[in-house]
Structure 1
Amino acid sequence: MTKIIAGIEVPDSLMARAATQLVRDTEDDLLYNHSRRVFFWGALTGKRRGLKYDPELLYIGAMFHDMGLTKAHWSPDLRFEVDGANAARDFLKSYGVPERDVEDVWTAIALHTTPGVPEHMRPTIALVTAGVEMDVLGIAYDDFSHEHRDQVCACHPREANFKENIIDHFANGIIRKPLTTFGNVKADVLALRDPNYRRMNFCSVILNSKWQE
């Protein structure tokens, strides 16, 4: 496996290698390659912005960020982001990672579908979301050079129909627990893929609460 892609070195510690193998064994090719690309986009963003970040923590955050979409890690009632964050937390704690660093990775994964917030937080948190937004939404696409985009995608290709297929992966991971999409962007996924889905409404929740006027 290539160790340096687009000028970014892949963390090669015992923990990073174990994370790679765990994700490789748990996720399909689409999610695995997506997660690896998220790391590179996040790292390149950090380099471009001059941020001081821990490559290993960024790598774990990127690799685990969609683990909550897999049968091995999804719960019946938590947001998939929280399921992935919990899996990463358990993994990091098993390697004795300091609590502050564990919290950063947990928060990075838990907030990666909450736009407008992570970018103002510590680098691990900000860069995981930046990587996800680049790979899924194309945000800041032109801030990456043509060469860097080609180099990353040559090693971790975007499969044919990636856009439709990533939406299907999201839908498959959350369709059994639609209430967990309230207040985040994944409500749009169910609105597109589940004909029975009915959006919750924030104002309706307020107006129909048990509080008496």
Structure 2
Amino acid sequence: MTEIIAGIRVPDSALTRAATQLVRDSEDDLLYNHSRRVFLWGALAGERRGLSYDPELLYVGAMFHDMGLTEAYASPDLRFEVDGANAARQFLTGYGVVERDIEDVWAAIALHTTPGIPEHMRPTVALLTAGVEMDVLGMAYDDFTPMQRDHVCAHHPREHNFKENVIDHFANGIIKKPLTTFGNVKADVLALKDPSYRRMNFCNIILGSPWPT
């Protein structure tokens, strides 16, 4: 049966059902519910902005955006965002999705922790980040009605102290590859959770480069 949550029709196709099942089998409840909320916030933002977007692509992007935090999809040396993007690429390729659409989903996932850029890109990219920013940071919170917020969270609860525990999930997914946090917001996660973490400094890298001047 087609689900409608806060007025948003959740895509129901062989592709999206397979994506849902794969993510359900790979992620715990916290990340799964977070990913579903990200789709819904992104879709609601798209409706509010009057954007023409592909719900299936946005859905797959939302569902895969944190897959790089899971043991099954984490690489030893790539940013977790890239791991998730690569997993989505492999999945979509298996369903014969056209390359431009795959590239949009890849970019949406890869850039979802790089603020200031996705909002200027195509709708799949812009709306995925909008959904993440709403769910994790509460950005544009008041642009969503209380009824929308309540309906989304009734279907996919922010339980188990989501604020603290999502930070723990981020930390657990990246703590073994701290160099991947250079230049992105996840450096803040390790600064909070790993006492041994030392931030890389862009200016120190410039000044310490092998160039003589």
For normalisation by structure 1, the TM-score amounts to 0.99
- Aligned sequence identity (%): 81
Deviation at 1:161, TM superposition (A): 1.0
Alignment of 1:136-175 (within 5 A): 136-175=136-175
Q: How does 1:88-103 map to 2 (within 5 A)?
A: 88-103=88-103
1:59 equivalent in alignment to 2:59: yes
The Cα offsets for residues 64-99 of structure 1, whole Å up to 9 and x where unpaired, read as: 000000001000000000000000000000000000
Runs of at least 4 residues off by over 6 Å: none
Shift of 1:2: 6.5
Q: Which residue of 1 aligns with 2:183?
A: 183
Q: Which amino acid aligns with 2:25?
A: D
Matched position secondary structure for 1:195: coil
Q: How far apart are 1:160 and its partner, in Å?
A: 3.0
Corresponding residue of 1:129: 129
Question: What SS is found at the alignment partner of 1:33?
Answer: helix
8 A contact 2:39–2:131 mirrored in 1:
yes
What is the match of residue 87 of structure 1? 87
1: CA distance, partners of 2:23 / 2:43: 19
Count of aligned residue pairs for this structure pair: 213
CA gap of 1:12–1:2, structure 2 versus 1, over 3 A, is: closer
| Partner AA of 1:188 in structure 2 | D
Show the counterpart of 1:5: 5
Structure 1, residues 33-79: CA drift from partner, whole Å, max 9, x if none? 00000000000000000000000000000000000000010000000
Q: Give the counterpart letter for 2:80 in structure 1.
A: F
State the match for 2:37 in structure 1: 37
SS at match of 1:11: coil
Unaligned runs of 5+ in 2: none
Structure 1: gaps spanning 5 or more residues: none
